[in-house]
């Protein structure tokens, strides 16, 4: 019996634009520049459940069979872990509470619902962003490969080391030290259409590994994942800011202030909260640093084309999925609570290869807010009454 083999359940709830299928160690690739975005955030789903010793694998299987999300179970978590809960609330809150009793947690990365050790789940989105930033330092051809959005499948008894090597090489890249991945054998699995950077983040996180550019050649090297992962950014406030509540919510983050410029080293969640609190913009120097070159870099938001179908889903969940899929940040204006409340209203969208402006315009009109793109940020403001 393979003690390291973990049972994972993967369904196909979404129509995907492109696919990677792994058979043995051969990778067949069909590529598309169009990113498919998930219809909703699974963690915001409202549920009313009574779980008494229900195996984790059954809950994950149910989530997938309902088409709420694709799931990825960390290799360190026992799929037979019993879950106990009797709650009415958001899936994320209920599942987090049940998993916390076993030292585990849940996080959502793109279209993937990840379950793993608590500290790992808490830092997953931040680690993914750290890895995206590392990928952005690669030469243009390698950088484009790391941003390529595709799906990935592998059969039972797949060795993750061979899986990662095949995936990297299929995108024209090279891995310097694949032996850093310990020998293991996995059950069959599937990841939906997400970037190569995010796929590698999920495949490596169970080994506490991440990837780093070696040099200007575009070669990748595996290295220990940072503990905890942190991102540093600066924000210019438009007025007085009280950080007392923010500091209470994010005690592990470091914030410094010089005049009206706040610099934060912390998690993605902390940055989202600070940006919403300050309601300002990045300093001019940082805007220049973050500006992408017209060729070889990330496509401008105005150049993106979106194919998306949504039926009666919270506008906030749809907006977050769009922002994450296009690697944009969200910035709320004043009255964040009111704006968030409006965005919880259900919306319906059905677009094919629409511009981001068209999608945000339709989404904003239905939710009663104004959504505009400034640089790499989607600003949320009060709409016309």
DSSP-assigned letter for residue 275: H
pLDDT of amino acid 47:
87
CATH number of the CATH domain containing 204:
3.55.50.30
Q: Is pLDDT of 207 > 50?
A: yes
Same domain, 141 and 166: yes
Phi-psi region of 284 (alpha: psi -120 to 50; beta: other; left: phi over 0): alpha
CB atoms within 10 A of CB 58: 14
pLDDT of amino acid 123:
95
Query: C-alpha distances in angstroms, 280 versus 276, 277, 374?
Result: 8, 9, 12
Provide mean pLDDT across the span 344-364. Answer: 85
- Inside any domain, residue 42: yes
Q: Model pTM greater than 0.85?
A: no
> Total domain count for the chain?
3
Q: Is pLDDT of 22 > 60?
A: no
Out of 224, 255, 276, pick the residue that ends a domain.
Answer: 224
**Mean of all residue pLDDT scores within the chain:** 81
Q: Is pLDDT of 2 > 60?
A: no
Its domain, for residue 204, covers 19-224
pLDDT tens digits, 91-117: 999 999 999 999 999 999 888 999 999
pLDDT tens digits, 47-103: 888 999 999 999 999 988 888 889 999 999 999 999 999 988 889 999 999 999 999
Tokens coding 35: 């990113």
Same domain, 46 and 185: yes
Q: Is pLDDT of 296 > 70?
A: no
pLDDT of amino acid 30:
28
pLDDT of amino acid 300:
66
Same domain, 35 and 169: yes
Out of 224, 239, 260, pick the residue that ends a domain.
Answer: 224
Share of the chain above pLDDT 90, in %: 42
Out of 261, 290, 319, pick the residue that ends a domain.
Answer: 290
DSSP lists the bridge partners of residue 355 as 305
DSSP lists the bridge partners of residue 194 as 150
pLDDT of amino acid 8:
37
pLDDT of amino acid 385:
56
pLDDT of amino acid 148:
87
Q: Concatenated DSSP letters for 80-122?
A: T-EEEEEEEEEHHHHHHHHHHTTTEEEEEETTEEEEEEHHHHH
Provide mean pLDDT across the span 19-42. Answer: 36
Same domain, 117 and 206: yes
Tokens coding 177: 């030290």
**Per-residue burial over 179-212, b = 16 or more CB atoms within 10 Å of its CB, e = otherwise:** ebbeebebbebbbbbbbbbbbbbbbbbbbebbbe
Same domain, 238 and 195: no
Q: Is pLDDT of 119 > 60?
A: yes
Q: Concatenated DSSP letters for 132-166?
A: HHHHHTS-HHHHHHHH-EEEEEE-TTB-HHHHHHH
Phi, psi (rounded to 5 degrees) for 158: -75, 140
Tokens coding 168: 């990297």
Least confident of 21-35, 154-168, 219-233: 21-35
- Dihedral sign (CA 307, 313, 319, 321): negative
pLDDT of amino acid 44:
82
- Inside any domain, residue 92: yes
pLDDT of amino acid 43:
84
* Most confident among 118-122, 241-245, 267-271 (mean pLDDT): 118-122
> CA-CA distance, 57 to 63, in Å (whole number)?
10
């Amino acid at each position: 019996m393979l003690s390291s083999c973990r049972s994972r359940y993967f369904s196909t709830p979404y129509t995907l634009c492109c696919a990677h299928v792994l058979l043995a160690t051969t990778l067949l690739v069909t590529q598309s520049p169009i990113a498919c975005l998930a219809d909703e955030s699974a963690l915001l789903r409202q549920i009313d459940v009574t779980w008494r010793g229900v195996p984790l694998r059954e809950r994950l299987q149910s989530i997938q069979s309902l088409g709420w999300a694709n799931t990825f179970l960390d290799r360190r978590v026992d799929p037979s872990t019993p879950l106990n809960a009797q709650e009415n609330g958001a899936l994320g809150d209920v599942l987090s509470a049940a998993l916390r009793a076993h030292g585990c947690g849940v996080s959502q990365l793109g279209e993937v619902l990840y379950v793993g050790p608590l500290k790992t789940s808490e830092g997953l989105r931040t680690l993914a962003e750290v890895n995206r930033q590392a990928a952005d330092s690669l030469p243009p051809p390698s950088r484009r490969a790391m941003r390529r959005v595709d799906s990935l499948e592998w059969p039972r008894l797949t060795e993750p080391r061979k899986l990662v090597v095949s995936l990297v090489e299929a995108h024209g890249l090279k891995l310097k030290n694949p032996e850093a991945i310990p020998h293991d054998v996995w059950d069959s699995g599937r990841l939906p259409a997400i970037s190569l950077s995010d796929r590698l983040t999920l495949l490596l996180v169970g080994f506490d590994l991440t990837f780093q550019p070696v040099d200007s050649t575009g070669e990748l090297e595996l290295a220990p994942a940072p503990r905890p992962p942190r991102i540093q950014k600066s924000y210019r406030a438009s007025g007085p800011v009280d950080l007392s509540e923010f500091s209470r919510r994010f005690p592990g983050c470091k914030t410094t202030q010089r005049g009206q410029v706040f610099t934060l080293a912390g998690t993605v969640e902390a940055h989202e909260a600070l940006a919403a609190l300050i309601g300002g913009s990045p300093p001019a120097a940082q805007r220049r640093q973050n500006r992408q070159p017209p060729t070889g870099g990330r496509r401008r938001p105005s150049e993106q084309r979106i194919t998306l179908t949504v039926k009666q889903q919270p506008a906030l969940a749809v907006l977050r999925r769009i922002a994450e899929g296009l690697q944009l940040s969200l910035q709320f204006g004043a009255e964040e609570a009111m704006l968030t409340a409006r965005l919880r209203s259900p919306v319906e969208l059905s677009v094919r290869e629409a511009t981001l402006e068209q999608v945000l315009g339709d989404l904003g009109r239905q939710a009663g807010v104004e959504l505009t793109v400034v640089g790499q940020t989607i600003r949320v403001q009060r709409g016309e009454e």
